[in-house]
Chains A and B, each alone.
Chain A
Amino acid sequence: MTLRVKDLKVYYQTLRGDVHALDGVNFELADGEIMGLAGESGCGKSTLGKSLIRLDSRMRHVDGTIELDGENVPIADDRGMNRFRYHEISLIPQYAMSALNPTRKIGRMINELLQSRGVKPSEVAEELKRRLELVGLDPDVLNRFPIELSGGMKQRVVMVMATLLNPSVLIADEATSALDVSTQRSVVESMVEFRDRGFVKSMIFVTHDISLVYQMADTVMVMYAGRIAEKAPASTIINSPQHPYTKMLIGALPEVGSTVETRLEGIPGTPPGLLKPPTGCRFKARCPIASEECSQVPPLVEIEPGHWAACWKTGR
């Protein structure tokens, strides 16, 4: 078991009170698993990714534990986390453009990064070149400035950089959302290859695009308003989702092949604000099958092996 997250609660502190961005999140990530983390904006998916690396000054760890390879990850302890950052838990941010220092050549920047983490650059120099070639980049990019590379190339540089020390968990936060479709495909395929070659043990791929997740993830976790709605193998989420939110979300996606003649339906309403989250099931206001029991919080239960859902109506 690579990662085990238990009842994690992370709130944002604001002048008007706490925003319950993560409110009791439970999941496990197996060795070698690529988990797609999907949901609408504001559901807490990026907060979850960030919590595993660094809480910024507004974020407060309220409750819950994270275990990585059997070891407790002290996410509230900014210094204590240093041991895990980059070595064990690494991140690919959404915009590679803003992840690279524009005033440094890429090679120099990577060396500075390694030194700051206590690694001698010469120890990994060969590996760095090998991996750049693996993702189809000329090692000559190390002598170039970020501005000289295209978006897809920069994203690949960041990917190689983030996985250079073979981390246990890689968090890719919307890592390909800013890329064109053909570049997106090749970057995603190299990510899967990095997992297959063991450069990263497991991966959390945060995205809003469920059809992309289906291409590469082993499992998909769908979040809604700070909680987990459903987690299952990717093909189960797409072909037989159980949570009403997942069902409606997948029903609302146009595909190559669907046209206006077969009208798709959106989900009426908007997600609840998390400053004062509603009691009970957070989807109940938009849910077509909500009833009285939904005023109680539905537990996340395993309805069949590997398939978890938080809804009173499933699993009966």
Chain B
Amino acid sequence: MLELSHVHKVYRVGAFGGAKLRAVRDVNLLVKPGEVVSLIGESGSGKSTIGKMVLGLTKPSQGTITFEGEDITRIRGFAARKEYYGRVQGVFQDPFSSFNPIFKADRVFEMIRTSYFPGVSDADWREKVLDVVGTVRLDPENVLNKYPHQLSGGQLQRLLIARALLLDIRLLVADEIISMLDASTRIDVLNLLADLKERGLGILFVTHDLSLGNYVSDRSVILHKGAIAEMGPTRRVFENPLHPYSRHLLSCVPQLHRTWAEVDAELAANPPEDFEPPTVEEGDDSAPLVEAEEGHFVGIDQR
């Protein structure tokens, strides 16, 4: 459904734009309908840039992004873009800054109506809104007709997902949507993503938190300095990390029932087999992947 092929993004940085920063390097990625793909990485790994490129907020420097067979970097004109956003929507990190505080929160639904459904009658529209609000497991009584400050972060975040669902979207880009939420409510949003997946929605889940990525996704992509370090079925990537960077990352995640010392001791007792990541020539910007086992790829090691 969504396919990234040899996508690069180079930013000009420095006082006069003289220096270059390769934020995304040769990324190849596929999201199928009904699949949750996690993009996991630390700050500066390029994970959000990939999300932005998929949403058409910034253009790749090289490579193509195709969605349902169409190259989205070539979309021109207001009508074509609007049609694209009818199929692909994003939800972002901070729910409080996604709403205008001087208007009621359900104004975001009204804006979808004026742009996409001008002909729908009031009664039909009301039914549609109640339907999506129910889908995100909110009680309409509690959330409609309220101002953003009267709602919790989890409720606002679910309203934004409901807004995306009003359109017949095929792909949701969820950029760190859980990070700002409290522990007791974030799990509800994660479970909601799992429900949406059952309905055939593809989800690109961008996160820095490995345990969240692990909980919700079918496939995981670990990014390091813009390139894919490791990609594969979530369970395999987490149980059998092959790339040195993903091993390091996993050993640093605070776990609930095991301390770092225990994890280190276990690693020292059963050292994993060394896996030789692919290498590239100096000055070559490509980032090849090697298939270590079925569907489990390992990328270059950049230190």
Q: Do the beta carbons of B214 and A254 come within 8 Å of each other?
A: yes
Q: What is the chain A residue whose CB lies nearest that of B216?
A: A260
Partner pick for A256 among B186, B190, B211, B216, CB 8 A cutoff? B211
Q: With an 8 A cutoff between CB atoms, is A275 at the interface?
A: no
Main secondary structure on B side of the interface with A? helix
Q: Which residues of chain B in 254-298 are interfacial with respect to chain A, using CB atoms and an 8 Å cutoff? A: 254-257, 259-260
Assess the A238–B215 pair: CB atoms within 8 A: no
Complex CA distance for A86 and B249, rounded to whole angstroms: 35
Inter-chain contact B208/A181, CB cutoff 8 Å:
yes
How many A residues, CB 8 Å from partner?
36
Closest residue on chain A to residue B248 by CB atoms: A182
How near does chain B come to A218, taking the closest CB pair, in angstroms? 12
Given contacts A214-B256, A256-B238, contact A182 B210 (CB under 8 A): no
Among candidates A40, A214, A239, A252, residue contacting B254 with C-beta atoms closer than 8 Å: A214
Say whether A102 faces chain B, with CB atoms less than 8 Å apart: no
For chain B, residues 130 to 168, give those with C-beta under 8 angstroms from any C-beta of chain A.
152
A180 / chain B contacts, CB cutoff of 8 Å: 42-43, 208
Q: Which residues of B contact A253 (CB under 8 A)?
A: 183, 187, 211, 256
With known contacts A182-B248, A257-B238, A252–B183 Cβ distance under 8 A: yes
With A180-B43, A238-B257 in contact, do A256 and B250 touch (Cβ < 8 Å)? yes
B178: nearest chain-A partner, CB-CB = A254
CB-based contact B182/A254 at 8 Å: no
Asked if residues B191 and A212 are in contact (CB atoms below 8 Å), the reply is no
**Is there a chain B Cβ closer than 8 Å to A265's Cβ?**
yes
| Interface set, chain B 44-63, CB cutoff 8 A to A | none
Residues of B contacting A252 with CB < 8 Å? 183-184, 186-187
A264's partner among B42, B152, B187 (CB-CB below 8 A) is: B187
Do the beta carbons of A256 and B182 come within 8 Å of each other?
A: no
Chain B residues with CB under 8 Å of A255's CB are 211, 214-215, 255-257
Q: Is A67 part of the contact surface with B, judged by Cβ < 8 Å?
A: no
Q: A181-B208, A266-B188 are in contact. Are A256 and B253 (CB under 8 A)?
A: yes
Q: Mark A198-226, 1 if CB is under 8 A from B, else 0.
A: 00000000001111101100000000000
A209-B184 in contact (CB<8A): no
Mark B208-234 against chain A: 1 for CB-CB distance below 8 A, else 0: 101110111000000000000000001
Q: In the complex the two chains form, is B253's CB within 8 Å of A238's CB?
A: no
A184-B252, A270-B152 known; A260 and B42 CB under 8 Å?
Answer: no
With the chains together, A265 CA to B185 CA distance in Å?
A: 9
**Provided the pairs A184-B252, A260-B194 are in contact, do residues A215 and B259 lie with their beta carbons within 8 angstroms?**
yes
Q: Encode A265-282 as 1/0 by CB contact (under 8 A) with B.
A: 111001000000000000
The closest CB in chain B to the CB of A286 belongs to B184
Expressed in whole angstroms, the Cα–Cα distance for A184 and B182 within the complex equals 19
Instruction: Identify the closest chain B residue to A41 (Cβ).
Output: B182
Task: List, in ascending order, chain B residues with CB within 8 A of A85's CB.
Answer: none
Closest CB of chain A to B180's CB: distance in Å? 9
**Which residues of B lie under 8 Å from residue A266 when comparing CB positions?**
184-188, 191
Q: Which residues of A contact B215 (CB under 8 A)?
A: 254-255, 258-260, 264
Does the CB pair B187–A209 fall under 8 Å?
A: no
Q: Which residues of B contact A182 (CB under 8 A)?
A: 42, 248-249, 252
Closest to B257 in A: A238
* A residues at B contact (CB < 8 Å): 40-41, 151, 180-182, 184-185, 189, 208-212, 214-215, 238-239, 248-250, 252-260, 263-267, 270
B interface residues, Cβ below 8 angstroms from A:
42-43, 152, 182-188, 190-191, 194, 208, 210-212, 214-216, 234-235, 238, 248-250, 252-257, 259-260
Known: A209-B254, A256-B214, A256-B250. 12 other contacts (CB 8 A): A40-B182, A184-B252, A214-B257, A214-B259, A253-B183, A254-B187, A254-B215, A257-B214, A260-B194, A260-B216, A263-B194, A266-B185
16 A-B pairs with CB atoms under 8 Å apart are: A180-B42, A209-B254, A210-B256, A253-B211, A254-B190, A255-B214, A256-B211, A256-B253, A257-B214, A258-B211, A258-B215, A259-B214, A260-B194, A264-B191, A266-B184, A266-B186
Shortest Cβ-Cβ A-B pairs, 8 listed: A254-B215, A180-B42, A267-B184, A40-B182, A266-B188, A185-B252, A212-B254, A266-B187
